[in-house]
């Protein structure tokens, strides 16, 4: 059995979480029985599960994800994400795909620069989409047992995609966690939100940037993005401001750790009345509700965010990520110096 030496080496290297309860072949047989009971066609399972083996690198990468992040600094993270090359490349894509992006904004209400910023953050505009076999990665993570329910659902969705001919088994490659394509959707997100953007009747986020951008737009719309509002703005709190005075009493039901860093929503007029200023941007209308986010804690960089910002958090549950997308989008839209001699 080809998988046996690999699996033995993997199990010997596992940290305190421990070894999976079953051998990989036994787990796979159990998964298949459960998948058939959940309504997946046995022929889909034949096609999708053939040749699967546990992937040691996948488990190593998953175990390297901290359950409790250490003290990261947002400004350091932002400097890495908003590199001059990423901004220049994003502006070029924004110009190249202007007609498509305008159409998507009319249809879904999401500005083109937000879509391009997510594309840039996720895959560097399609340059880095991952080389892991998605089905093997998802099966490995479901077998490992740290997040069995999540990855079993995603494996079910991936099997359905292959079975229904939405993606070929050979082309189905992506990140170690099973995200794939220009937009890095998980399989369940693909089934729920992917749409055709180039008019060929298929939603192919692996090969078609237009499909990926349309799918991102549809995702954000379905997650509550409202047209004409924007994501928010960077602000300066007044001297002596105490964040406890605007703390939210709501207990987040999802994306808990990032949302615990948010204040309650107050209208823009209330923030201005408290003495907040926006040196680098214009305030939204008085009635627009805004929530304060300081990703590095009180006394550090401060942002007032609209409810649209929550749609960015739905895409990736991280204030560092969502703010980087927002600020990259601002940089893509901002006027920039003309070339020398222009």
Residue 34 is assigned to a structural domain of this protein: yes
Question: Is residue 126 domain-resident?
Answer: no
Are 10 and 153 in the same domain?
A: yes
Calculate the alpha carbon distances from 40 to 19, 140, 171 in Å. 28, 19, 21
Asked if residue 67 belongs to a domain, the reply is no
Tell me whether residue 94 is in a domain: no
* Last-in-domain residue among 122, 152, 170: 170
User: Of 170, 186, 213, which closes a domain?
Assistant: 170
CA atoms within 13 A on the CB side of 28: 18
What are residue 58's phi and psi, to 5 degrees? -60, -45
For residue range 199-235, what is the model confidence (pLDDT) as tens digits? 999 999 999 999 999 999 999 999 999 999 999 999 9
Q: For residue 100, tell me if it sits in a domain.
A: no
Instruction: Report whether pLDDT(18) > 90.
Output: no
Indicate the number of domains in the chain. Answer: 2
Do 164 and 247 belong together in one domain? no
Instruction: Kindly state whether residues 162 and 295 are assigned to the same domain.
Output: no
Q: Is residue 214 part of a domain?
A: no
Boundaries of domain holding 299: 232-333
291: β partners: 305
The Cα 230–Cα 327 span in angstroms is 11
Q: Is residue 263 part of a domain?
A: yes
Per-residue pLDDT reduced to its tens digit, 276-291: 999 877 899 999 999 9
State whether 249 and 329 are in the same domain.
Answer: yes
pTM assigned to the model: 0.90
- Give residue 281's pLDDT: 74
**Under DSSP, is residue 304 helix (H, G, I), strand (E, B) or coil?**
strand
Average pLDDT over residues 98-113: 98
Alpha-carbon span 30 to 314, nearest angstrom: 32
Q: Which of 170, 188, 220 is the last residue of a domain?
A: 170
Report pLDDT digits (tens) over 31-52. Answer: 999 999 999 999 999 999 999 9
Is 313 among the domain residues?
Answer: yes
């Amino acid at each position: 059995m080809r998988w046996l030496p690999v699996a033995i080496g993997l199990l010997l290297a596992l940290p305190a979480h421990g070894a999976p309860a079953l051998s990989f072949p036994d787990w796979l047989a159990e998964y298949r029985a459960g998948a058939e009971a959940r309504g997946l066609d046995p022929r889909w399972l034949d096609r999708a599960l053939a040749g699967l083996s546990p992937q040691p690198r996948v488990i190593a990468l998953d175990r390297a994800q901290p359950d409790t992040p250490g003290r990261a600094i947002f400004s350091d993270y932002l400097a890495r994400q908003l590199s001059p090359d990423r901004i220049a490349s994003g502006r070029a894509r924004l110009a190249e795909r202007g007609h498509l992006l305008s159409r998507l904004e009319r249809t879904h209400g999401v500005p083109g620069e937000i879509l391009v910023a997510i594309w840039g953050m996720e895959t560097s505009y399609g340059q880095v989409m991952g080389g892991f076999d998605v089905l093997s990665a998802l099966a490995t993570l479901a077998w490992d047992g740290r997040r069995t329910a999540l990855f079993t659902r995603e494996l079910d969705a991936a099997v359905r995609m292959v079975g229904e001919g939405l993606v070929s088994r050979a082309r189905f490659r992506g990140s170690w966690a099973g995200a794939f394509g220009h937009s890095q959707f998980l399989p369940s997100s693909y089934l729920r939100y992917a749409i055709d953007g180039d008019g060929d009747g298929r939603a192919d986020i692996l090969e078609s940037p237009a499909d990926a951008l349309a799918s991102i737009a549809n995702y954000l719309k379905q997650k509550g993005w409202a047209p004409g509002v924007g994501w928010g703005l960077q602000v300066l709190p007044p001297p002596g401001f105490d964040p406890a005075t605007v703390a939210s009493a709501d207990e987040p039901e999802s994306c808990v750790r990032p949302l615990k860093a948010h204040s309650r929503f107050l209208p823009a007029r209330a923030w201005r009345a408290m003495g907040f200023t926006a040196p680098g941007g214009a305030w939204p209308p008085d009635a627009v509700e805004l929530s304060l986010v300081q990703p590095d804690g009180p006394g550090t960089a401060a942002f007032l965010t609209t409810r649209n910002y929550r749609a960015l958090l739905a895409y990736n549950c991280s204030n560092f990520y969502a703010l980087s997308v927002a600020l990259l989008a601002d940089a893509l839209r901002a006027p920039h110096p003309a070339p020398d001699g222009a």
